[in-house]
Amino acid sequence: MTDKEFVSYLANLIMISKADGSISEEEQAAIAWVYEEINANETDFEEAKRITEKDGYQVTAVGRYSERIRNLEDMIFVALSDNALSDPEKILMRSFAKAIGAKQEQIDTILSEAIARFRAYRATITCSNCGYEIPAAWRFCSECGTGTQAQTV
Ligand SMILES: [Zn+2]
């Protein structure tokens, strides 16, 4: 995707965050996680925030079809980060899905993939040494440095 497309892609994530109020801390963290995954950066995110502040800004489909589907999945992922999908988030998700031509079956699949991805993102484990709660993907406890189960042998 081009820089301009990255900005619109992230603007869609911001739009769904804002659908039920302002961007929460959890949503902001989830968006940051997504932009690192797609190789966008903070400048793109700042620009995306700026354009969504314009009156009447609408979600915009960008990139190839596969990128649009990914964008929809990321929108759901971000919306899930501060709670279950709210009605305004669902409405925005459905109108975007319709705009990119996703069928109901696909929407259901995307939704369950986003939920699975979100659970993995949010999962935590308890350190066997000190009992500190840390993200499941971490290889070492941030508190005491003990290796976790995720450590490669
Ligand atoms: Zn520990």
pLDDT tens-digit series, residues 14-38: 999 999 888 888 899 899 989 988 9
pLDDT tens-digit series, residues 47-67: 999 999 999 999 999 999 999
pLDDT tens-digit series, residues 102-120: 999 999 999 999 999 888 8
| pLDDT above 90: residue 151 | no
Domain ranges in the chain? 3-122, 123-153
pTM for the predicted model, two decimal places: 0.82
Query: Shortest CA distance to 72 belongs to which of 99, 47, 48, 42?
Result: 99
Residues with CB under 5 A from ligand 1 (ion): 127, 129-130, 132, 141, 143-144, 146
3.40.190.10, 1.10.4080.10, 3.40.50.300, 1.10.3680.10: CATH of 3-122: 1.10.3680.10
Kindly state the percentage of the chain with pLDDT values over 70: 97
Ligand 1 centroid to Cα of residue 120, in Å, is 20
